[in-house]
């Protein structure tokens, strides 16, 4: 296939439903993959700290028979005497794909445009596509289907929310972005996702009222109120987002079999209570595991 990136969910819009199905298959076949990526090397470039992204990509490449190379960006010359574009071109001669965890999506786009090999976003300040794929795998596992299901995202309309909007729209999952008026998702992404959802017979909507939004929800989803790089003081964030905390009261408004999701790291007592996070309706750690299987699907599709 022609060189393809996964920087935005939309980069693999046509492949997205197949990626979800492949994630299911690869999870079921774990330990019996053979070595489809034997001889392939993934360069993992990190500007931000990471637990799930680093470990899951490293293990994914190993279990698919390939090799992952960790690169701490401050130790590189990129942006320190060498242009981003030149670094991307040089790395394209050494490795087979780049996974980049970045602060700024504009730099992510430069790497993607300049590299002649696939570039996969491990997160930037606009989107987090690999997380969204793991989330769709989790919903598929726990709910069986997407049609007629309602996902309510509560809190900061950040990169995770942006990618969830696209992913939900593509698979036909109804999604409500329930956020404070000053912390809504990217307006262009919201509009684009709404158009995709309309064409798919599902809905994308916005709300500022969690008491209304959470009624009859199949999935409640949240993320940290202060993302890496966000300089909002915690005390201010608590005032902004307190009513969006996933707690027993909000969960009681959802369907009895509603599942609770969080992309981690979690701050118990802020965006989610410990009782809900550790309760029977939480699928948070299954969701975290699914990063591995979803990223295998991406790597397999882009590199085999």
Residues 58, 174, 223, 270: which is the catalytic one? 223
Residues 11, 58, 96, 101: which is the catalytic one? 101
Confirm if 204 and 51 have CB atoms less than 8 A apart: no
Residues 11, 52, 109, 128: which is the catalytic one? 128
> Any catalytic annotation for residue 263?
yes
List the 67-72 sheet strands across, edge first.
Answer: 67-72, 41-46, 97-101, 119-121
> Any catalytic annotation for residue 214?
no
Burial of 142 (0-12, 13-18, 19+ CB in 10 A): middle
Dihedral sign, Cα of residue 236, residue 239, residue 245, residue 247:
positive
> Any catalytic annotation for residue 101?
yes
Burial of 166 (0-12, 13-18, 19+ CB in 10 A): buried
Residues 11, 58, 131, 149: which is the catalytic one? 131
Confirm if 117 and 98 have CB atoms less than 8 A apart: yes
Residues 245, 291, 293, 295: which is the catalytic one? 291
Cα–Cα distance, 8 to 109 (Å, whole number): 10
Count CB neighbours of 15 within 10 A.
18
For residue 236, the surrounding DSSP H or E stretch is helix 234-241
Residues 130, 178, 214, 263: which is the catalytic one? 263
> Any catalytic annotation for residue 223?
yes
Confirm if 152 and 203 have CB atoms less than 8 A apart: no
- Region of 229 on the Ramachandran plot (φ > 0 left; ψ -120 to 50 alpha; else beta): left
String of DSSP letters for 82-117: B-HHHHHHHHHHH-SEEEEE-S-HHHHHHHHHH-SS
DSSP 8-class letter at 73: G
Catalytic residue ranges: 101, 128, 131, 223, 263, 291
């Amino acid at each position: 296939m022609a060189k393809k990136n996964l920087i935005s969910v939309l980069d693999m819009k046509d492949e997205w439903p197949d990626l979800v199905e492949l994630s299911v298959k690869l999870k079921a076949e774990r330990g019996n993959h053979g070595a489809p990526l034997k001889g392939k090397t993934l360069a993992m470039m990190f500007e931000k700290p990471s637990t799930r992204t680093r470990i899951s990509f490293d293990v994914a490449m190993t279990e698919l028979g390939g090799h992952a190379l960790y690169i701490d960006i401050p130790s590189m010359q990129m942006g320190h005497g060498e242009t981003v574009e030149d670094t991307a071109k040089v790395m394209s001669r050494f490795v087979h794909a780049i996974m980049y965890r970045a602060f700024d999506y504009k730099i992510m786009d430069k790497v993607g445009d300049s590299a002649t090999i696939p570039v996969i976003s491990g997160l930037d300040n606009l989107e987090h596509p690999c997380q969204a794929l793991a989330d769709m795998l989790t919903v598929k596992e726990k709910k069986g289907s997407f049609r007629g299901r309602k996902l309510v995202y509560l809190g900061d309309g950040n990169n995770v929310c942006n990618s969830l909007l696209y992913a939900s729209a593509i698979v036909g999952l109804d999604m409500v972005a329930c956020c404070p008026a000053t912390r809504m998702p990217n307006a262009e992404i919201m509009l684009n996702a709404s158009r995709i959802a309309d064409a798919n017979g599902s809905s994308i909507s916005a709300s500022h009222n969690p008491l209304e939004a959470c009624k009859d929800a199949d999935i409640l989803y949240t993320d940290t109120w202060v993302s890496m790089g966000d300089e909002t003081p915690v005390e201010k964030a608590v005032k902004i987002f307190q009513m969006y905390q996933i707690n027993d009261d909000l969960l009681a408004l959802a369907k009895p079999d509603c599942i609770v999701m969080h992309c981690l790291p979690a701050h118990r007592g802020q965006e989610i209570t410990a009782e809900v996070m550790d309760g029977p309706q939480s699928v948070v750690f299954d969701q975290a595991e699914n990063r591995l299987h979803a990223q295998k699907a991406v790597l397999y599709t882009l590199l085999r």
